[in-house]
Amino acid sequence: MNRETQTTIDEFLVGKEDVCDGIMDDFKQTLGVVPFILPILRERPDSFVFNGLGDLYTFNPTSMDRKTVELAAVSAAAAVGADACLKVHIRAALKEGATREQIRDIISIAGLIGKTGILGASFRVMNKAIPEDE
């Protein structure tokens, strides 16, 4: 890393504790809770300040409203089986105006995509292992 970049980073990290506190507060305000992984990640403030800021900016896109963001998070959490995240984001989606029906449907869509992903990958392997002419 060049000296100028390192100096800029070092100067930024002087205020890392305040930035870390702000990240925690922003997630609590947005989600209603601080996800349990954040305090653990915050134990390494030099890493958390950069990762946390990236996560915060990613989770607050300017291209969509909060309800849409939360429904996307519900779908992603359902797709990867992150039950604790799913619970947090369902509550946050409700807070942002999502209905039970919208949450049910977004979880159903995540399940459908998950199912087709498994079937597609598995059938490709099957077709290579067992040619159609056998």
Domain boundaries, the chain: 1-60, 64-134
pLDDT digits 0-9 by tens, 76-91: 999 999 999 999 999 9
CB 73 within 8 A of CB 89: yes
Which CATH number does the domain 64-134 belong to among 2.70.160.11, 3.40.50.2000, 1.20.1290.10, 3.10.290.10?
Answer: 1.20.1290.10
Distance (Å, rounded) from C-alpha 90 to C-alpha 69? 11
pLDDT above 80 for 103: yes
pLDDT digits 0-9 by tens, 9-60: 999 999 999 999 999 999 999 999 999 999 999 999 999 999 999 999 999 9
Q: 3-class DSSP state for residue 61?
A: coil
